[in-house]
Structure 1
Amino acid sequence: MELVERYLKAVAAQLPKATRDDIVAELRDEIMGRIEALEARLGRAPDDDEVEALLREVGHPLTVAARYRSGPQALIGPELYPWWMFAVKTALAVMVCVTLIGLAARVLSGDLYMGEAIGQSFAALFSGAVSVIGVITLIGFILERQEKKPDFIAKWRVKDLGLFELGGDIDAETWSQRLAGAAESGRVKTGSAVKKSAEMSPVARAVSSAIAWAVLLLWWTGLLPMASIRPEELASVVDGVDYGRMLAQIVEAAYWPVTLFALAKVLFDLTRAASGGNVRLTAFGDMAFGAAAAWGLLWLWFWSPLSPVIWVGTVTEFAERVQALFHRTAGDAGGLAAILMIIVVWAFAAEVFRIVRAAGRLVAGR
């Protein structure tokens, strides 16, 4: 029958060539058997409408062909879906933080009024969220089709679960209930108690770090259109210094080094997550990335376009600029420069401390 043959051709087009003929022959026998049973009930040959209704009962060619294909029958299956959801929530949380920083920068620089900045930030956050969800979905699609799932999915430990408890608390209702409960009981956790409750294993830290750095990498390279704080949009002059022009020059010079740093960080975090959070591997990576970050801060201090504004030659001069910052009166210049100077020095000291700690873990193995 013409309708049956057209139906079978549509199914055959979706099947692999190696098994196509056998499957079509099996399906033809099944359909013809149904048609014969229908003909026996009717006492006559069914017309085209009745045959088409029968074929609809068999199923759409795409659906029928899928039954005979091997491999996953879902974009992201039930085993990976919770991981996909957690990755989306974590990435969106990072995006919100970056967007808020961009919002504050644009308002404080006088580039936009508060209402306009909020509107643009929401629009950028929405488009960025669509992009990042698409990227995470693509990663989930690829993982779903691997024969062996990553070890951090199958070989998890209870110590890894602290991160996921935090991820489940990212909603307004939960936080409002906790704040209300704390107010009623009059008990507030100390800093050490909060830190202890938020502890996570090296594997959990590696996964969350990889997600965060991936979001920042996509934003830095312009693949994630969010938090519009591009240098050309911040061409403001503060205390007689054109920081917008300086920022544009810094971004131009540091674009590829920062891109490679972020990409390496994502790959490294995924590697240490797959290795179960190996202590020495993590320590070696912390030393390497700490050294790279420290070198970048030295570049900012000595050779970048910002250097003439923040550089001081002695500790005494540094202390004098810090003291002047706290005794600054309206109309005095150099306030922002002194703040940037402190930030760079503090960040460099933090990276040195990180390298020293990592060296200790590398030697001790714990």
Structure 2
Amino acid sequence: MDMIDRYLNAVAAQLPQDERADIVAELRDLILSRFEAKEEELGRPLTEDEQEVILREIGHPLVVAARYRKGPDSLIGPELFPYWLFGVKAGLLVLLAVQAIGLFIHLISGTDDAGQAISHAFHGFFSSGLTLIGAATVAAAIFEHYEIRPKWMTQWRVKDLGAFGLSDPAAWGVKVDPPKPPKAPKAPWGASRRTEGWPGGEYLFSFLAAGMFVLWWVGVLHFPPFSSIELRGQDAIVTAAPVWSTLFAPILVYALIQMAVDLNSVFRPYAVRIRALARIPIALVGLWLTWRISEAGHWFTLTRGEETARVAGDWSLLDLNALQWVEGAGNLSDVAATLSVVMVWALAISALSLICSIILNLWRLARG
């Protein structure tokens, strides 16, 4: 078998059988004409090395066969690639946020091995990321092969483009250093001052955090379980007080409404007055929930064997002198006292932030 036959056999193996003979015949004529032209130029028959050079100029058999094969020449074509890239970037950023929130909650819940928790978070992100990239690639390849074009690709509207900022790392707080544009003139007082980048990033983080809380609150996620967790170094069980059962439904509804407002803000980040109008009653409900929790006076019970201690208190614990962490964890009552102080201060900070939210949204409602 001469060199031309070996080359054509390699090309034919990649071609559809019903078109193989015609394409191979066309390629054979092309190769023979190239050989004859070169022999006429040199005035002698070509050596094997010279034939090899001409065949390389024609192209690798896989590349040549791809020119004749029907269908797309690439797994993801240039029309679909921007959509694939956006989906992968946005998906990876969402996975990163979810893993970061989960890691934070896991660390503050009292894990014995922080290094292992961080390792699991990295492993979860990379494994989920590879799965996401693979799924996106398979979906894009199917779209490319069967020439599928969903309506959101062909019938898009400008007003629906707000969420495309998801793929901008700067919108997520990632530092980027683009060239500085010329300094714009200062806007007049009262005019709209839109920040650079995509302003929906902060609302997306709030939506994800509220979503993680809702999943944990209803028992889908377990970091830590609501009924009991193991305190680091204490081997103690934390049991919820009755106030949490009483307020279970109001807190769930409150979180779901907060998620709805945040989701609307993701797609409509510049709807300032509508968002402010929704967040004022939400903050008022949050203040009511904070007051109900604080008035209960008893929030958790610690149990270790026969020993028990209550995490309870009132506003009298709002004392800077009380903010002293207990040295050593042998006394369960000391741990309960420390947690009581933390709980009171957390409620106070929550109430203060809600009051500030009401004032800020009233100002936004007035100013737009």
TM range (shorter): 0.5 to 0.7
How far apart, in 1, do the equivalents of 2:149 and 2:200 lie?
27
Equivalent position of 1:9 in the other structure: 9
1:327 matched to 2:317? The reply is no
How far apart, in 2, do the equivalents of 1:176 and 1:8 lie?
51
Matching of residues 188-199 of structure 1 within 5 Å: 198=200
**Distance change (3 Å), C-alpha of 1:24 and 1:322:** farther
Equivalent position of 1:137 in the other structure: 137
How far apart, in 2, do the equivalents of 1:47 and 1:236 lie?
80
Give the counterpart letter for 2:313 in structure 1. Answer: H
Equivalent position of 2:306 in the other structure: none
**Distance change (3 Å), C-alpha of 1:172 and 1:104:** closer
Equivalent position of 1:237 in the other structure: 230
**Distance change (3 Å), C-alpha of 1:163 and 1:59:** same
Larger radius of gyration: 2
How far apart, in 2, do the equivalents of 1:95 and 1:115 lie?
20
Equivalent position of 2:174 in the other structure: 172
Asked whether the 8 Å contact 2:109–2:223 carries over to 1, the reply is no
Equivalent position of 1:302 in the other structure: none
Asked whether the 8 Å contact 2:75–2:141 carries over to 1, the reply is yes
For residue 132 of structure 1, report the CA deviation from its aligned partner.
1.5
Give the counterpart letter for 1:14 in structure 2. Answer: Q
For residue 71 of structure 1, report the CA deviation from its aligned partner.
1.2
Asked whether the 8 Å contact 2:7–2:61 carries over to 1, the reply is yes
From the two aligned structures, give the one with the greater helix fraction.
1
Give the aligned CA root-mean-square deviation in angstroms: 4.8
Q: With structure 2 as the length reference, what TM-score do the two structures score?
A: 0.52
**Count of paired positions:** 236
**Distance change (3 Å), C-alpha of 1:175 and 1:54:** closer
Matching of residues 209-288 of structure 1 within 5 Å: 236-238=229-231, 240-241=236-237
Asked whether the 8 Å contact 2:106–2:224 carries over to 1, the reply is no
Q: Which moved more, 1:73-82 or 1:33-42?
A: 73-82
The superposition leaves residues 147-194 of structure 1 with CA deviations (integer Å, 9 ceiling, x where unpaired) of 33111101000111111134334462359999xx9xx99x9x99x999
For residue 31 of structure 1, report the CA deviation from its aligned partner.
0.3
**Distance change (3 Å), C-alpha of 1:46 and 1:69:** same
**Distance change (3 Å), C-alpha of 1:78 and 1:229:** farther
Equivalent position of 1:111 in the other structure: 111
**Distance change (3 Å), C-alpha of 1:81 and 1:38:** same
Give the counterpart letter for 2:75 in structure 1. Answer: L
Matching of residues 61-210 of structure 1 within 5 Å: 61-168=61-168, 169-170=170-171, 172-174=174-176, 198=200
Structure 2 residue runs of 5 or longer lacking an equivalent are: 216-220, 240-288, 300-311, 318-333, 344-368
Q: With structure 1 as the length reference, what TM-score do the two structures score?
A: 0.52
The structure showing larger relative contact order (alpha-carbon pairs under 8 Å, at least 6 residues apart) is: 1
**Distance change (3 Å), C-alpha of 1:322 and 1:21:** farther
Helix, strand or coil at the partner of 2:175: helix
How far apart, in 1, do the equivalents of 2:27 and 2:161 lie?
48
**Distance change (3 Å), C-alpha of 1:100 and 1:107:** same
Structure 1 residue runs of 5 or longer lacking an equivalent are: 200-204, 217-227, 244-314, 340-366
Helix, strand or coil at the partner of 1:73: coil
Asked whether the 8 Å contact 1:106–1:229 carries over to 2, the reply is no
**Distance change (3 Å), C-alpha of 1:120 and 1:198:** closer
Q: Which moved more, 1:81-90 or 1:113-122?
A: 113-122
Equivalent position of 1:296 in the other structure: none
Identity of aligned residues (%): 40
How far apart, in 2, do the equivalents of 1:172 and 1:111 lie?
28
For residue 88 of structure 1, report the CA deviation from its aligned partner.
0.9
How far apart, in 1, do the equivalents of 2:96 and 2:108 lie?
18
